[in-house]
């Protein structure tokens, strides 16, 4: 699995502390984790680590002033753009001076102006001498910044530049990286959820070589599982016959073949899950008798008597306690009426409607076009999107409905 910060844009703000030399390692760790990095420094920080080192490691120019005074064609370094570029901003080492200015909205250098413009989560890793770290005014600054929503990466104890021993040493780069990764994980919207997802077709055996099945590829369910895991959930994916591979470590895959096996797997985890999504195209009928041996052909016709399988989603609706339950409806006519009927009949909180009449929607492709109908029978229609993007939309809606449920309970 790629790192949680892989592909993220990280803006590192360096201030004038002796620990600034360690920022070279921090930038390397971010880059090795797959992040994009830009660095902004206070002018005084350049006495501690060179912009050349940090621009080489970050693969981006390093800025420390609004423009280069020595260059008459100098371009304005736009702090608003830098602040908006970042997914995360980390100020390390963060001196008492810069932290105090951050807490009062002072903006007398590019780093501070960028901090004030940033809309992303901001982390700061203080670095200062023992007595400064414990001074009441510094403590007040820490509290104020945390009240603003900034996250503090506490300093460590050890030998300080002054020769004193105690708290105030900037956290090590590896500790800073771990802190940020863990913090991002803890704040993921589906953290703490256990999500059960059924996906794929089921095969109902006629004999050892033949079956009744359908064209489902399992892609929509697998994308739901990936999205849920990326949003911090623990996922159990009960997957019918499908060639799709699942790599995410937060997804437990239970591979099944028939509707009966899918039902067994669902029963085993349903009561411990918080959200259940039935995306599988479960066979509604199975052969009443399955032959142990391959059936030989004859000249006469060959009737197969079918019987109903268990409706797994309906069972989940009956057994529902705290679970948030989501079903799918694949319709060819009277789409909305049929979907609403299913939502009510199966005691669902949300139903995902896809119409086979929509181009690009349905079983095998990589795209889908859905409408979501909630328990109040309100409908939201979405554009044609990749199944991965559709999965994100579905969880966005689930999260909104869960938040609303908490507020009204």
Closer to ligand CTP by Cβ: residue 59 or 345: 345
Supply 175's token pair.
Answer: 């500790």
**b/e map 306-315, b = 16+ CB within 10 Å:** eeebebbbbe
Q: How far apart are CA 14 and CA 10, in angstroms?
A: 13
- Does residue 238 interact with ligand CTP by CB under 6 A? no
For residue 10, the surrounding DSSP H or E stretch is strand 9-14
Other Cβ atoms less than 10 A from the Cβ of 282: the count is 22
Q: How far is the CB of 173 from ligand CTP (least distance, A)?
A: 47
- Does residue 278 interact with ligand CTP by CB under 6 A? yes
Residues 45-74 contacting ligand CTP, CB under 6 A: none
367 contacts 360 by C-beta, under 8 angstroms: yes
Q: How far is the CB of 248 from ligand CTP (least distance, A)?
A: 21
Q: How far is the CB of 253 from ligand CTP (least distance, A)?
A: 17
> For ligand CTP, how many residues bind (rule: CB under 6 A)?
15
Q: How far is the CB of 282 from ligand CTP (least distance, A)?
A: 3
Q: How far is the CB of 229 from ligand CTP (least distance, A)?
A: 20
Q: How far apart are CA 300 and CA 361, in angstroms?
A: 39
Q: How far is the CB of 277 from ligand CTP (least distance, A)?
A: 8
CA 163, 166, 172, 176 torsion-angle sign: negative
Residues 245-264 contacting ligand CTP, CB under 6 A: 259
Nearest to 180 by CA among 289, 91, 243: 91
Residues 319-378 contacting ligand CTP, CB under 6 A: 327-330, 342
Q: How far apart are CA 65 and CA 113, in angstroms?
A: 10
Q: How far is the CB of 240 from ligand CTP (least distance, A)?
A: 10
Closer to ligand CTP by Cβ: residue 206 or 259: 259
399 is catalytic: no
Closer to ligand CTP by Cβ: residue 198 or 367: 198
Q: How far is the CB of 313 from ligand CTP (least distance, A)?
A: 3
Nearest to 241 by CA among 254, 255, 252: 255
Q: What is the per-residue binding string for ligand CTP in 191-230, x denoting contact by CB under 6 A?
A: -------x--------------------------------
Q: How far apart are CA 405 and CA 322, in angstroms?
A: 11
126 contacts 99 by C-beta, under 8 angstroms: yes
Half-sphere exposure of 341 (CA within 13 A, CB side): 7
Options 5-13, 26-34, 248-256, 277-285: segment touching ligand CTP (CB under 6 A): 277-285
Closer to ligand CTP by Cβ: residue 96 or 199: 199
- With H, G, I as helix, E, B as strand and everything else as coil, classify residue 197: strand
- With H, G, I as helix, E, B as strand and everything else as coil, classify residue 88: strand
Give the angle 142-147-150 at the CA atoms, nearest 5°: 70
DSSP summary character for residue 46:
G
Closer to ligand CTP by Cβ: residue 294 or 308: 308
Supply 64's token pair.
Answer: 């420390």
Other Cβ atoms less than 10 A from the Cβ of 87: the count is 15
Residues 300-319 contacting ligand CTP, CB under 6 A: 309, 311-313
Residues 279-298 contacting ligand CTP, CB under 6 A: 280, 282, 284
Q: How far apart are CA 143 and CA 215, in angstroms?
A: 58
Closer to ligand CTP by Cβ: residue 207 or 311: 311
Which residues, in sequence order, are bridge partners of residue 9? 36
Active-site pick, 60, 97, 214, 338: 214
Closer to ligand CTP by Cβ: residue 172 or 311: 311
Q: What is the per-residue binding string for ligand CTP in 141-180, x denoting contact by CB under 6 A?
A: ----------------------------------------
Closer to ligand CTP by Cβ: residue 112 or 278: 278
Nearest to 240 by CA among 223, 227, 253: 253
Residues that bind ligand CTP (CB under 6 A): 198, 259, 278, 280, 282, 284, 309, 311-313, 327-330, 342
Residues carrying an active site annotation: 214
């Amino acid at each position: 699995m790629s790192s949680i910060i892989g592909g993220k844009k990280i803006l590192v703000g360096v201030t004038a502390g002796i620990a600034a030399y360690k920022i070279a390692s921090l930038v390397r760790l971010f880059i090795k984790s797959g992040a994009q990095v830009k660095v902004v420094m206070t002018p005084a920080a350049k006495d501690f680590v060179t912009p050349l080192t940090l621009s080489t490691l970050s693969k981006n120019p390093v800025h420390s002033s609004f423009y280069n005074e020595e260059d008459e064609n100098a371009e304005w370094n736009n702090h608003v753009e830098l602040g908006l570029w970042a997914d995360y901003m980390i100020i390390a080492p963060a001196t008492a001076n810069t932290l105090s200015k951050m807490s009062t909205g002072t903006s007398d250098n590019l780093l501070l102006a960028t901090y004030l413009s940033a809309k992303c989560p901001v982390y700061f890793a203080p670095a200062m001498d023992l007595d400064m770290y414990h001074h009441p005014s510094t403590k007040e600054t820490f509290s104020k910044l945390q009240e603003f929503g900034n996250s503090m990466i506490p300093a460590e104890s050890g030998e300080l530049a002054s020769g004193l021993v105690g708290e105030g040493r900037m956290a090590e780069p590896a500790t800073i990286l771990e802190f940020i990764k863990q913090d991002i994980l803890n704040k993921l919207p589906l953290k703490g959820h256990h999500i059960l997802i059924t996906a794929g077709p089921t095969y109902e055996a006629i004999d050892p070589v033949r079956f009744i099945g359908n064209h489902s590829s399992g892609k929509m369910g697998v994308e739901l599982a990936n999205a849920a895991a990326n949003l911090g959930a623990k996922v159990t994916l009960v997957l019918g016959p499908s060639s799709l591979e699942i790599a995410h470590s937060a997804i437990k895959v239970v591979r099944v073949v028939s509707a009966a096996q899918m039902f067994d797997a669902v029963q085993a985890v349903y009561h411990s899950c918080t959200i259940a999504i039935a995306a599988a195209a479960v066979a509604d009928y199975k052969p009443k008798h399955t032959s142990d041996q391959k059936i030989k052909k004859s000249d006469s016709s060959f009737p197969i008597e079918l019987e109903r399988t268990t409706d797994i989603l309906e069972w989940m609706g009956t057994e529902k306690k705290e679970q948030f339950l989501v079903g799918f409806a694949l319709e060819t006519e009277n789409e909305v009426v049929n979907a609403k009927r299913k939502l009510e009949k199966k005691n669902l909180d949300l139903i995902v409607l896809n119409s086979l009449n929509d181009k690009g929607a349905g079983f095998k492709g990589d795209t889908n076009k859905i409408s979501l109908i909630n328990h109040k029978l309100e409908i939201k229609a979405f554009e044609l999107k990749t199944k991965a993007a559709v999965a994100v939309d579905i969880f966005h809606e689930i999260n909104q409905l869960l938040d609303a449920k908490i507020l009204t309970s």
